């Protein structure tokens, strides 16, 4: 029997037949889940219980309101995930996610550690932004079958999903429709979590489950008309582009962190070079796909600045393909040359973030 954690609002067990729920409140002031309203956590638990057999349910409450899913501090989510390590959780049903990619610093380490022993089943942001922890390679990212190509309760897989939300699940159950709830990524998660629970009950271990999920039937992707919600994300809003050479991905990440720590500016990056893994950095295989990758980052990353990491010899090509605001070349001795609007100036690394912020403000 596997242990499933629903990290969300409090679950009212009256809606799941009085099933025992181990309840942990991280919001403070509530000793047990209140009755009455149907919280977002309760709806997730209803879907889970409809689809799953033979499991223990743990509810970790991280939302202040039981009337719906509302914003919580990412530190609470990280605390809940760390608790899952202590509680020997097998499956984490996670609809509490973030499209603020700087939140990754709180979530990557604990989810990586958890993934060695538990299946983290996590929703894609409903507006199709790259999402943490959903878009991590060690997490089972889930999106709903909005196109209605599956039956209620069915799951499928689509390799190469640009958001790493490879698992599709249909949550179009009559009892949800009676409540006025349609397909959503949040409610698709417990469908997928129930499926993973069934694999644990069949004797699969965590490494076998990953292989099995990749072997699911291929989700029958079909073309989506322009204007559909499938293409949601940022629309019609340009962000500054800064091209970096001579620093590698590591140097770019340091600059991104400096911007966030001092100015709370969100950054994303495209990189032609290998380096440390960071959810904010999207790899580009060749100059031929640069324009498409840039378009994806502009639309589907919540970011205030886009950095491009490339070799010096590529700068001219990038300048022809994108409207670059600033080119920065590092000399390896702690000084950077900034080129912008026909000007060139040399800036010490210690004040680079400050100077770049002045130029882009």
| CB atoms near residue 335 (< 10 Å) | 13
Residues of the chain with pLDDT under 50: 31, 68-70, 223-230
> Which residues lie closer than 8 Å to 124 by C-beta, 6 or more apart?
97, 131, 134, 135, 141, 142, 143, 163, 165, 185
150 contacts 220 by C-beta, under 8 angstroms: no
140-144, strands of its sheet edge to edge: 21-25, 55-61, 2-8, 91-94, 119-123, 140-144, 167-169, 155-157
- 335 is written with which tokens? 């000084």
Of 164, 162, 166, 142, the residue nearest 51 (C-alpha): 142
pLDDT reported for residue 4: 98
| Rg, C-alpha atoms of the chain | 22
Strand partners, 269: 281, 307
For the domain spanning 241-360, the CATH number is 3.40.50
Would you give the distance in Å from CA 226 to the centre of its chain?
24
**What confidence score (pLDDT) does residue 228 get?**
42
- The Cα–Cα gap between 101 and 302 comes to 7
Give every CB contact of residue 277 below 8 A, 6+ residues apart in sequence.
none
CB 22 within 8 A of CB 13: no
CATH 3.40.50.200 domain span(s) along the chain: 2-231
CATH code of the region 2-231: 3.40.50.200
> What torsion do the CA atoms of 67, 73, 77, 80 make, to the nearest 10 degrees?
-80
Ramachandran assignment for 153, one of left (phi > 0), alpha (psi -120 to 50 degrees), beta (any other): left
Q: Do residues 356 and 262 lie in contact, with contact meaning Cβ atoms separated by under 8 Å?
A: no
pTM: 0.91
pLDDT for 275 equals 81
**Residue 272 near residue 310, CB atoms below 8 Å:** yes
Backbone angles phi, psi at 350, to 5 degrees: -65, -25
* Residue 183, token pair as written in the block: 């397909």
Instruction: Summarize pLDDT for 176-235 with one digit per residue, the tens.
Output: 999 989 899 999 999 999 999 999 999 999 999 999 999 999 998 754 434 344 456 666
Q: What are phi and psi of 339, to 5 degrees?
A: -115, 125
Query: For residue 235, what pLDDT is reported?
Result: 61
Helix (DSSP H) and strand (DSSP E) numbers for the chain? 10, 15
Dist. CA 160–CA 153, nearest whole Å: 23
Q: How far apart are CA 338 and CA 328, in angstroms?
A: 5
Alpha-carbon span 57 to 1, nearest angstrom: 11
List C-alpha distances in Å: 197 to 51, 52, 69, 150, 303: 10, 7, 24, 20, 36
Task: Specify the pLDDT at position 222.
Answer: 58
Question: With left for phi above 0 and alpha for psi between -120 and 50, is residue 271 left, alpha or beta?
Answer: beta
């Amino acid at each position: 029997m596997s242990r499933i954690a629903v990290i969300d609002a409090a679950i009212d067990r009256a809606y799941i037949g009085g099933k025992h729920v181990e309840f942990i409140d991280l919001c403070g002031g509530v000793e047990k889940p209140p009755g009455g309203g149907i919280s977002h956590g309760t709806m997730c638990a209803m879907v889970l219980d409809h689809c799953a057999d033979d499991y223990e349910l743990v509810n970790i409450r991280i939302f202040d309101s039981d009337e719906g899913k509302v914003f919580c501090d990412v530190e609470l989510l990280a605390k809940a995930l760390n608790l899952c390590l202590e509680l020997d959780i097998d499956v984490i049903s996670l609809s509490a996610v973030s499209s603020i990619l700087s939140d990754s610093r709180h979530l990557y380490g604990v989810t990586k550690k958890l993934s060695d022993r538990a299946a983290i089943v996590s929703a894609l942001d409903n507006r199709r932004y790259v999402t943490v922890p959903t878009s991590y390679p060690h997490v089972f990212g889930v999106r709903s079958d909005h196109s209605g190509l599956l039956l209620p309760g069915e799951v499928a897989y689509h390799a190469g999903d640009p958001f790493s939300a490879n698992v599709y699940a249909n949550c179009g159950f009559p009892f949800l429709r009676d409540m006025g709830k349609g397909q959503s990524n949040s409610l698709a998660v417990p469908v997928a979590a129930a499926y993973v629970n069934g694999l644990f009950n069949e004797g699969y271990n965590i490494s076998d489950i990953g292989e099995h999920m990749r072997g699911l039937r291929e989700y029958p992707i079909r073309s989506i008309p322009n204007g559909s919600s499938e293409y949601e994300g940022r629309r019609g809003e340009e962000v500054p582009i800064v091209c970096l050479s001579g620093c590698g991905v590591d140097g770019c990440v340091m600059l991104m962190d400096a911007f966030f720590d001092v100015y709370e500016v969100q950054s994303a990056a495209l990189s032609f070079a290998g380096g440390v893994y960071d959810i904010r950095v999207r790899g580009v295989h060749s100059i031929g796909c640069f324009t498409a990758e840039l378009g994806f980052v502009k639309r589907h990353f919540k970011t205030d600045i886009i950095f491009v990491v490339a070799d010096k010899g590529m700068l001219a090509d990038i300048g022809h393909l994108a409207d670059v605001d600033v080119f920065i070349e590092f000399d390896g001795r702690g000084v950077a040359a900034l080129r912008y609007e026909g000007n060139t100036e040399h800036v010490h690394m210690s004040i680079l973030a400050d100077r770049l912020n002045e130029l882009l403000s």
